[in-house]
Amino acid sequence: MTPKDLGLLNPWLRNIRDVYRLHEAELDAIDGEARRYDRLVELNVVEQCRNIVKTAALQQSYARNQSPIVHGWVFGFHDGLLKDLKIDFKSMLRNVQKIYNLTD
């Protein structure tokens, strides 16, 4: 990630840059730009799943009828395969609700 002004893309990229900031040590330790970006994509999907779990709509619906359940998948452009990131939804929900409990 190069820190430069990209105009209209800045608000969208800010979220990805935040993911990079949160996981900087892990990402910087990865050799190879392609592998580093692949991992950044995976981490971004996990963070976006967490953002969905933070919403009142999801938490309240899950409290009522145990659905929906959030899954994190990444499409591999180089091989055409979907990779399941095996997000532990219930654990993520419990951890998120320590701060963002919106079911009351």
- For each of the chain's 104 residues, which pLDDT tens digit applies? 667 788 888 888 889 999 999 999 999 999 999 999 999 999 999 999 999 999 999 999 999 999 999 999 999 999 999 999 999 999 999 999 999 999 97
Q: What is the pLDDT of residue 95?
A: 96
Q: What is the pLDDT of residue 30?
A: 98
Is the entire prediction scored with pTM above 0.85?
A: yes
Q: What is the pLDDT of residue 13?
A: 86
Angle value at C-alpha 15, between 32 and 74, nearest 5 degrees: 55
Structure tokens, 43? 């981490």
Q: What is the CATH number of domain 8-99?
A: 3.40.1050.10
**Which residue carries 């997000």 as its tokens?**
87
Count the Cβ atoms, other than its own, within 10 Å of residue 72: 20
Domain boundaries, the chain: 8-99
